[in-house]
Structure 1
Amino acid sequence: MRLKTTYIIGVLLIIWASFIYFTFINRPLNITESPENIDSQLNVLEGGIDEQFKHNREMINKLHTFLEHKKRNKMKNESSKQIKTQEHNGFVIPILVFACNRVSVSRCLDQLLQYRPNPDQFPIIVSQDCNHKETTDVINRYGSQVTLIKQPDQSDIEVLPQEKKFKGYFKIARHYGWALNQTFFNFNFDAVIIVEDDLEVAPDFFEYFTATYPLLLEDPTLWCISAWNDNGKIGLVNENNPEQLYRTDFFPGLGWMLTKKLWSELCTKWPKSYWDDWIRQPNQRKERACIRPEISRTKTFGKIGVSNGLFFEKHLKYIKLNDLFVPFTKMDLSYLLKDTYDREFVLKVYQSPVVSYQELKEDKIVYDGPVRIVYHTKDAFKRNAKMLGLMDDFRRACSIFQSGVPRMAYRGIVTFFYKKRIVHLAPSFNWKGYDLSWS
């Protein structure tokens, strides 16, 4: 628009100058003047006209320069506004790695650094307990790539005689409480992704959390994003569908994200031990859910720990770690919001035909598509889960906390992949909620 105005002004100036020129040149000559005087006057007039044209050209050039300068400034300002908007809409989420006495923490850190897309967006904080020098030395080798903080309270913890062998769980709970307080209230981050020192991560680990973080902010019925599927063993997941995500009422942990808002709610009543089972209690969960993947984005390699390898040989070492990059940030994940998910997922589950375990195992189902195995009691659930290779427990054997939620269940429904089809191990349609006595 401004360039167009410049051209109009220039044309008007040229017309004005031409008018003056032709007016003076074509005016009637004073015949009383001598030819020499007329020639002299014409020379003066032509010189004035030339000077006027020169002045007009200078004015037009100055106008061009001025408008180009304004245009560049406008583009610069718009670009600056765009960058500021991106910074404002962006987020920084630290990866909080819990370490103790495993020098193999390097295996975890190496993968995090390998797959991390942006060190400014995903700073890595390693929180170490135990004062294990060899582990500290390993962490220090990473220099400025990670920030090391150390849990200062190394005092012994008094426990009841029957819980002496579980003292490690008390120390872990103390460490978690301290490190999360540091992350949220000292470093002042708005969210954090928790990783333990014995976890491998998938190539799209950061992509997964980047895409699901907005869901966590938008949907108040969500309280965590987890990279873990407790039933994600080879043969129980659809490896051709790594982009599939689900809601679950069970807190999965093992690579998970929470917000400062949630921690502010939990920190004042943080337990002295068994924090992961405590967090699954109804009083903490408050009917909120987590997002979990079909195929895990983490895998544990820590056979030896405070749990003494509980479940590792039977289960954990068979978990499938996703090895393909899924561009989650380019996908529409709104189907995971509660209203949509409850309407569509529950409908699909209860429209699927009911089959028996024997029919499923012997592949005697004549139709394609998802199927449903129904359970009504705790024993029926555990029996079917064990036959199908699912985790059939509701809590750890050493825990005093109860939730009654089967692992990976949503509204009592445990969804998995078996014999090349989706299977729902589900309660009846008029399900009344979880029963604490099932724990």
Structure 2
Amino acid sequence: MQRKIRFKKKNGLLKYIKELEVQISQQQETYKSLVTKLHELESLGKKSDQGHLQEVLKTLESHKFPITKPKFLTRLSKEDSSRNDVVLPVLVFSCNRPDIRRSLDGLLKYRPDPKKFPIFVSQDCAHGTTAEIIRSYGKQVTYIQQPDQSDPIVPPGEAKFKGYFKIARHYLWGLTQVFRTFNHTAVIIVEDDLDIAPDFFSYFSSTYPLLSNDVTLWCVSAWNDNGKASLVDVEQGSPLLYRSDFFPGLGWMITKKLWDELEPKWPKSYWDDWMRRPEQRKERACIRPEISRTRTFGKIGVSNGLFFDKHLKYIKLNERPVDFSKQNMSYLVKANYDADYIRRVYSLPVVSAPDVRTNNVPFDGPVRIVYHTKDGFKSAAKLLGLMDDFKSGVPRTGYRGIISLFHNGRRIYLAPNSNWKGYDLTWS
């Protein structure tokens, strides 16, 4: 009898695969990558493979294929869905900031499940007061300490930037601990000077499947570099998410697979700008929100308050919680997103930055501002209150060179020509 059941399961599974392959072949180019996932199903039968089965099924279901799953697959999905929720640890990097209490209190306040979101605090600097505060949280956090307290070797002329060398070394050690020692499959990275929004955890847990399945993504970030209250849609923007070619940081998630790639070549300093280099990014994007899910209160630090008074303190922290588990994320898949986003942006009427600034546009609705040169971008960005710098040729929040903002109740896109050929490394 067991043999017959196995035979029926196998035949039902193969029939299911074949039906899906026929439908996929009729879809747009978007779905070609899913064929590979279908073949993965053929090898799934052992209990140890059921977690991967759930990931494949979720990917297929997100594209709304009108296929009735065999009963044993439906039952398996229900039985094992609770067992296969990925654990997403939060790694807090700290040094000598007693205000870490503010960050940890926020994380603990909004954390929905300690098992799904364990908190690791990695401390450098061996600062006694900060260490005592971290220890006071007991078993609510896992406290680890960077053992190497020696002075890093700094090139001539960069002695005043020694702190950046220590930070890069600490990141290497801390991330290695989470992925190698504790063997997690992904991590959410924050620093000890961040407040988080109430839906911080919902945001990351719901975008994780997208990150793990879309090879054109390499991170999810909670931060909008241009997220001032005057530049985002405070009323309707809470659920809005974007793809961005700019690595934002400040509350971000990566997978172990990416760390396998980055760890062997991790830099000695300036790790965030290193991440933004094309050799690391490899034309991959990050997901970022319209309204930030983190906000920094760290005016004093290694950067000596750079940008804080002029920009960072004005970043809007989301106050309207979104249950992202109920949001359809398929629009963020590259093929879907590019087709819709590019068509929408380049179909809009063109206006000038000065007219937008003075609200001198004689019609309602979204508009486009065109830039042709680096100076043209900077001029428009300054008029609109955007950050105007580039990293490896990429403007902050840019996607295919396009910046989305909200100003005076209107959606605006600052965009290059429609025949955009890619980022210019000299624009830095």
TM-score higher than 0.5 here? yes
Structure 2: stretches of 5+ with no match in the other structure:
1-72
Structure 2 matches for 1:190-201, cutoff 5 A? 190-201=185-196
SS at match of 1:168: helix
For 1:322 and 1:184, locate their aligned partners in 2 and report how far apart those are by CA, in whole Å.
30
Instruction: Summarize deviations over 1:213-235 as a string: whole Å, max 9, x none.
Output: 11001110000000000000011
Instruction: Give the alignment partner of residue 357 of structure 1, picking from 340, 353, 357.
Output: 353
**Match in the other structure for 1:102:** 97
Q: 2: distance between equivalents of 1:305 and 1:102?
A: 9
TM-score of the pair, normalised by structure 2:
0.81
- Among 130, 133, 137, the residue aligned to 1:142: 137
What is the aligned counterpart of 1:384 among 380, 385, 393?
380
User: Is the partner of 1:101 in helix, strand or coil?
Assistant: coil
Q: CA deviation at 1:362?
A: 2.2
Task: Report what 1:409 is aligned to.
Answer: 398
DSSP 3-state at the match of 2:81: helix
Q: Which residue of 2 aligns with 1:30?
A: none
Cα distance, 1:358 vs. partner?
1.9
Deviation (angstroms), 1:359: 1.5
1:16 alignment partner in structure 2:
none
Counterpart pick for 1:336 among 332, 339, 342? 332
SS of 1:162's partner is: coil
Q: Offset at 1:84?
A: 5.1
How many Å separate the matches in 2 of 1:285 and 1:88?
Answer: 33
- Structure having the higher Rg: 1
The reply to whether residue 271 of structure 1 matches residue 267 of structure 2 is: yes
In 2, Cα distance between equivalents of 1:242 and 1:368: 22
Write the deviation string for residues 291-342 of structure 1: whole angstroms up to 9, x where unpaired.
Answer: 0000000000000111010000000000000011111110111100000000
C-alpha distance in structure 2 between counterparts of 1:324 and 1:311, whole Å:
26
| 1:82 positional shift | 7.1
Aligned residue runs from structure 1 range 10-49, under 5 A: none
Q: Does 1:178 align with 2:173?
A: yes
Question: Counterpart of 1:195 in 2: which secondary structure?
Answer: strand
- Paired residue secondary structure (1:161): coil
State the Cα RMSD in Å.
1.5
SS of structure 2 residue aligned to 1:423: strand
* Shift, 1:107, TM fit: 0.2
TM-score (norm 1): 0.79
* 1:419 and 2:408 correspond: yes
CA distance in 2, matches of 1:381, 1:219: 30
- Percent of pairs with identical residues: 64
Q: Secondary structure at the match of 2:345?
A: helix
Closer, same or farther: CA 228–367 of 1 in aligned 2, 3 Å: same
Secondary structure in 1 matching 2:414: strand
Shift in Å, 1:364: 2.0
State the one-letter code of the partner of 2:313. K
Structure 2 counterpart SS, 1:290: strand
Provide the rounded CA distance (Å) in 1 between the counterparts of 2:424 and 2:96.
Answer: 38
Partner secondary structure for residue 167 of structure 2: helix
Shift in Å, 1:158: 2.2
Could you list the per-position Cα deviations for residues 324-372 of structure 1 after superposition, in whole angstroms to 9, with x for gaps in the alignment?
1111110111100000000000111001110001211222212221111
Tell whether 2:282 aligns with 1:293. no
Aligned partner of 1:172: which letter?
Answer: I
- SS of residue matched to 1:96: strand
Residue 132 of structure 1, aligned match among 123, 127, 130: 127
Structure 1 residue 206: Cα displacement: 0.2
**1:159-190, Cα deviation, whole Å (9 max, x unpaired):** 12321111100000000001111100110000
Q: Deviations over 1:103-127 (max 9, x none)?
A: 0000000000000000000000000
Q: After TM superposition, give the deviation of residue 81 of structure 1 in Å.
A: 6.6
Please report how far the alpha carbon of residue 419 of structure 1 lies from its aligned counterpart in structure 2 after TM superposition: 1.2
Unaligned runs of 5+ in 1: 1-77, 396-402
Q: In 2, Cα distance between the equivalents of 1:346 and 1:89? A: 36
Q: Corresponding residue for 2:389?
A: 393
2: distance between equivalents of 1:316 and 1:133? 29
Which residue of 1 is the match for residue 8 of structure 2?
Answer: none
Q: Distance in 2 between matches of 1:81 and 1:337?
A: 27
Which of residues 72, 80, 97 in structure 2 aligns to 1:85? 80
What are the equivalent positions in structure 2 for 1:112-261 lying under 5 Å apart? 112-240=107-235, 241-261=237-257
> Bigger CA drift: 160-169 or 101-110?
160-169
For residues 373 and 201 of structure 1, what CA distance do their matches in structure 2 show?
33
Q: Distance in 1 between matches of 2:134 and 2:220?
A: 27
